[in-house]
Amino acid sequence: MSKLFLFAAPSGAGKTTIVRHLLNHYEDLSFSISATTRPKRPHETDGKDYYFLAPDTFKTLVKNGGFVEWEEVYEGLFYGTLKREVERLWGEGKHIVFDIDVKGAVNIKQAYPNEAIAIFVKPPSMDALRNRLTARGTEDEANLKKRLDRAEEELSYESRFDIVLVNDNLQEALTAAEQIIEDAIKPA
Ligand code: 5GP
- Give kind and range of the element (H or E) at residue 103: helix 102-111
How do residues 64-123 score in pLDDT, each as one tens digit? 999 999 999 888 999 999 999 999 999 999 999 999 999 999 999 999 999 999 999 998
Specify the 3-state DSSP secondary structure of 182: helix
Give residue 160's pLDDT band: very low, low, confident or very high (50, 70, 90).
Answer: very high
Q: Ligand 1 centre from 164 Cα, in Å?
A: 18
Which of 16, 36, 132 has most ligand 1 atoms within 8 Å of CB, for mutation?
36
pTM for the whole thing? 0.90
User: Which domains, and CATH codes, for the chain?
Assistant: 4-185 (3.40.50.300)
- Give kind and range of the element (H or E) at residue 2: none
The Cα–Cα gap between 72 and 62 comes to 12
How do residues 58-76 score in pLDDT, each as one tens digit? 999 999 999 999 999 888 9
| Burial label, 85 (beta-carbon count in 10 A; 0-12, 13-18, 19+) | buried
How do residues 125-144 score in pLDDT, each as one tens digit? 888 888 888 887 777 888 88
Ligand 1 surroundings by CB, under 6 angstroms: 11, 34, 38, 69, 71, 73, 79-81, 99-101, 104
Q: Ligand 1 centre from 101 Cα, in Å?
A: 5
Average pLDDT of the segment spanning 24-47:
96
Which of 73, 74, 86, 148 has most ligand 1 atoms within 8 Å of CB, for mutation?
73
Residue having the nearest C-alpha atom to atom 22 of ligand 1: 104
The predicted pLDDT at position 188 comes to: 63
